[in-house]
């Protein structure tokens, strides 16, 4: 099963009321782990590269081509997504490289400006089989709208979707980015109201802070694309730490990256079960 358009994975999950895991890729081994985990779970998966990761590498193309190549050789459907892009040029580059979706993040901009730029991104993606995710702005702070006390208003969500034509919407329902404890409490009634009001698949950012049972409830209440990064890095790094502590003389990077990649893959498979995404696709 080759690289697939993000829309096909998200739409099936939205209609089937299950979650689609969207896991961040910073290094090649992330992409390998996420796909191995998805194959183990027999689930589709989204590999996402954030603007942050692009800045860290200094360019998009090398990591993007690696993620696309891993997707193309996967045995389950895999989509590749650009995450948290604030630069329209980066969005264009990702589309040209063959990404199936982009998130334009204008959440730090005033409403009017976010609206205008999001519309431009939607217009640029039109007719190119690219699924566009956006985010409502207006709230400041380190996490923007993804701070524990911040909530998306259903009526604003409806207006934003109508006025921009986006395919998916990131909403604030109680998560916060980069949490290293899984203690977030979600507003499940709000999720249900937003699903109804927005009329497009909803995206949960900062899902690392959400405990397993709450992730399942969030999906049942109406969340579709579930973004997880920090939690998987935590699992990976713990493994590296353990291996190096047990074998301080190790030099070959594969000897500690390899076990960490396997542990991350197993956690991806487990999370896909939590999201009720497992056993949904046939292996090729």
**Cross-strand pairs, 23:** 47, 228
Residue 235 touches which member of Zn ion, ligand G3H, none, C-beta under 5-8 Å by kind: none
Judge contact between 160 and 134, C-beta under 8 A.
Answer: yes
The first and second tokens of residue 12, run together, are 């099936």
Is 92 an annotated catalytic residue?
no
Q: Give the residue with the Cβ less far from Zn ion, 36 or 175.
A: 175
Residue 225 touches which member of Zn ion, ligand G3H, none, C-beta under 5-8 Å by kind: none
Element (H, E) at 202: strand 202-204
| Alpha carbons 12 and 280: distance in angstroms, whole number | 10
Q: Give the residue with the Cβ less far from ligand G3H, 24 or 152.
A: 24
By C-alpha distance, which of 9, 7, 13 is closest to 218? 13
What minimum distance in Å lies between the beta carbon of 215 and ligand G3H?
11
Tokens 């690696």, residue?
A: 66
Catalytic residue among 83, 105, 143, 167: 83
Residue 229 touches which member of Zn ion, ligand G3H, none, C-beta under 5-8 Å by kind: ligand G3H
| Alpha carbons 99 and 97: distance in angstroms, whole number | 6
What minimum distance in Å lies between the beta carbon of 205 and Zn ion?
3
How many C-beta neighbours within 10 Å does residue 248 have? 7
Q: For binding to Zn ion (CB under 5 A), which residues are involved?
A: 205
What minimum distance in Å lies between the beta carbon of 75 and ligand G3H?
25
Q: Give the residue with the Cβ less far from ligand G3H, 91 or 243.
A: 91
How many C-beta neighbours within 10 Å does residue 155 have? 10
Q: For binding to ligand G3H (CB under 6 A), which residues are involved?
A: 24, 83-84, 177-179, 205-208, 227-231
Q: Give the residue with the Cβ less far from Zn ion, 13 or 179.
A: 179
Would you please indicate which residues are annotated as catalytic (active-site) residues?
83
């Amino acid at each position: 099963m080759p690289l697939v358009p993000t829309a096909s994975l998200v739409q099936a999950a939205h209609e089937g009321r299950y979650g689609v895991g969207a896991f961040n890729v910073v290094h090649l081994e992330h992409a390998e782990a996420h796909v191995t985990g998805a194959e183990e779970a027999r689930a589709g998966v989204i590999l996402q590269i954030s603007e942050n990761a692009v800045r860290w590498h200094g360019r998009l193309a090398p990591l993007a081509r690696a993620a696309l190549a891993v997707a193309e050789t996967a045995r389950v459907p895999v989509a590749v997504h650009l995450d948290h892009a604030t630069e329209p040029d980066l969005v264009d580059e990702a589309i040209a490289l063959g990404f199936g979706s982009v998130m334009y993040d204008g959440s730090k901009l005033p409403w009017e400006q976010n609206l205008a730029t999001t519309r431009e991104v939607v217009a640029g993606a039109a007719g190119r089989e690219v699924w566009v995710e956006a985010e409502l702005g207006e709230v400041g702070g380190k996490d923007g709208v993804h701070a524990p006390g911040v909530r998306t208003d259903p009526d604003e969500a409806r207006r934003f979707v109508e006025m921009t034509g986006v395919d998916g919407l990131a909403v604030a329902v109680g998560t916060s980015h980069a949490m290293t404890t899984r203690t977030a409490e979600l507003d499940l009634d709000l999720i249900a109201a937003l699903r109804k009001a927005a009329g497009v698949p909803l995206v949960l950012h900062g899902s690392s802070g959400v405990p397993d049972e709450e992730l399942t409830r969030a999906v049942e209440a109406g969340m579709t694309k579930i973004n997880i990064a920090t939690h998987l890095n935590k699992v990976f790094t713990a493994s590296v730490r353990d291996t190096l502590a047990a074998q301080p003389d190790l030099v070959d990077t594969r000897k500690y990256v390899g076990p960490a990649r396997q542990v991350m893959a197993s956690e991806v498979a487990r999370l896909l079960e939590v999201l009720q995404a497992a056993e949904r696709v046939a292996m090729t």
